[in-house]
Structure 1
Amino acid sequence: MREQGKIFAGFSVFILGMAIWYGLWSKDPTGTTALFLAFGLGAFIAFYLLFTAKRVDTGAGDNPNAEVSDDAGVLGFFSPHSWQPLSLGIGGSLAFLGVIFGWWLLFFSVPIIGIGLFGWVFEYYRGENQTQ
């Protein structure tokens, strides 16, 4: 994680320099704001990765002598057959279309997002996937 944090920190410093240079050169407030926001996002990720790297064990990505097989193993549990992300994607798409075409679309998107969130949270509490 430490190496990824350093990469994002370098990216953030580069974007900050480009934002300052672009803001002085072009006098464009929209692009300058977007570049400063990109700097902020990169800095947040760099801070998180560097802060978390102090608390976890050194991974294979931080060891220059590591082999690919050193990072093998279980990475976590991922639901293999969940339909809830599709529901959230459709609801989120409708919500963003509501910003473009009209706020009335939110009346259709909010229930779809709510159903998707409820289903995702309680997916393993009922039905065939119920855990004992």
Structure 2
Amino acid sequence: MRIQGHLFAWIAVFMLAVAVVYGLWSKEPVGTTALFLSFGLSAMIGFYLIFTARRVDTGAQDNKEADVADDAGEMGFYSPHSWAPLVLGAGAVCAFMGPVFGWWFLYFTAPLLAIGLWLWVFEYYRGENQNQ
């Protein structure tokens, strides 16, 4: 995980340099803003990965003498199935269509978003996935 963190940190440094050069050279605000936002996103991901790498065990990707087989096995817990992201995604699509068709459309999509978010947050508090 440390390797990926450093990779994103170097991408952040590169994006910052490109954003400054592009902003001074072109004086175009939209592209400059997009490049600065890309810098911020890659810096956040890099910081998270480097910070998390200190708290977890060293993976095979951090060992220079590791084999591919050393990384085999369970990688973590993943939900077996869930309908909540589908409902939340449908609500988000409808919400993003609000400015297209009119802001009144958001009144009808807000309950869909709330239901999807509620389903996702409380997914492991009910049904077959309920913790004992």
Scaled by the length of structure 2, the TM-score of the pair is 0.89
Q: Tell me the equivalent position of 1:97.
A: 97
When the two chains are superposed, the root-mean-square deviation of aligned CA atoms in Å is: 1.6
Call closer, same or farther: CA 1:131–1:53 in 2, change over 3 Å: closer
Question: Residue 73 of structure 1 aligns to which amino acid in structure 2?
Answer: G
Q: Tell me the equivalent position of 2:26.
A: 26
How many pairs does the alignment contain?
A: 132
Secondary structure of the residue aligned to 2:123 is coil
Secondary structure of the residue aligned to 1:103 is coil
Structure 2 distance, partners of 1:124, 1:48, is 26
Q: Tell me the equivalent position of 1:66.
A: 66
1:116 Cα shift?
1.3
Moved over 6 A (4+): none
Structure 1 distance, partners of 2:43, 2:60, is 23
1:131 Cα shift?
4.0
After superposition, where does 1:1-132 map in structure 2 within 5 Å?
1-132=1-132
Unmatched segments (≥5 aa) in structure 2: none
1:128 Cα shift?
4.2
Query: Which segment is superposed worse, 81-90 or 98-107?
Result: 98-107
1:64 Cα shift?
1.5
Fraction of identical pairs, as percent = 65
Unmatched segments (≥5 aa) in structure 1: none
